[in-house]
Amino acid sequence: MKMGRDAFFDLLAANRLLIRRRRRKVITTFSRHRFRKYPNLIKGLVVDRPNQLWVADITYWFTQYGCLYISLVTDAYSKRIMGYAVAPNLQAVNCKNALQMALEQIDREVGKYLIHHSDRGIQYCSGEYVSLLDSYHVQISMTESGDPLENAVAERVNGIIKNEYLAHQPVYSLAQAQAVLKQAVYLYNYKRPHFSCDMLVPQDAHQKEGHLKRRWKSVLSQKQPNKEPVNENPD
């Protein structure tokens, strides 16, 4: 029986065969600050081209070197990671570095038609981050609550990078962490097909426009052919 990774893990979970993860919660979002918080502009938005909507988020990464923080900027259409940075702290400059990397791949004319969506964390509301977005005339959108579904694409990419590419990589220095993350982003962008992008890798999906066919199927919902019961001990 053929199935994708997500369906396989759903099947394991349904039969209680998954190993329970150890909970190590790290808070990366502080939204009780004095900076302006922007409205959510993406409710009901249909994303049908690259560089229409970028989503940004911060996640943590436990390493032998200590807890590090990864900032990612991802294109919501192609799922391509446009910019990234890793640092041992949550300073806004690290998010800004990821955004700068992303913006260097477009011109200011493209920026006029781009929305940047994030949570309301202090890093994304800070003057230096907002100023960089303004310099490209990018529209700013933010979540309205702490619900991860308001930034679902960013949350999903966080999980893929951390659990598929970084979880088992030994890291003993910041320089090594930067090299490992760079390699992980390359493999993700150029080697990992997405069911949500018509089985294209993000780099190829980023060259498309229009609707990308979604190819995921839930194995659990597929009907199995009816079979007659077999009596192994006939009278």
pTM, two decimals, is: 0.79
Element housing 159 (H / E): helix 152-160
Per DSSP, the residues of 95-139 read HHHHHHHHHTTS-HHHHTT-EEEE---HHHHSHHHHHHHHHTT-E
20: amino acid identity, one letter: R
Residue 142 DSSP symbol? E
pLDDT classification of 125: cutoffs 50, 70, 90: very high
CB count within 10 Å of CB 9 equals: 13
Report how far residue 73's alpha carbon sits from residue 154's, in angstroms, rounded to the nearest whole number: 8
pLDDT tens sequence across 84-124 = 999 999 999 999 999 999 999 999 999 999 999 999 998 99
pLDDT of residue 196: 86
pLDDT classification of 10: cutoffs 50, 70, 90: confident
Least confident of 65-69, 111-115, 142-146, 228-232: 228-232
pLDDT tens sequence across 157-177 = 999 999 999 999 999 999 999
pLDDT of residue 31: 55
Has domain 5-209 been given CATH number 3.30.1310.10?
no
Q: What percent of the chain has pLDDT above 70?
A: 84
Quick check: 143 pLDDT over 80?
yes
Q: Where are the domains of the chain?
A: 5-209
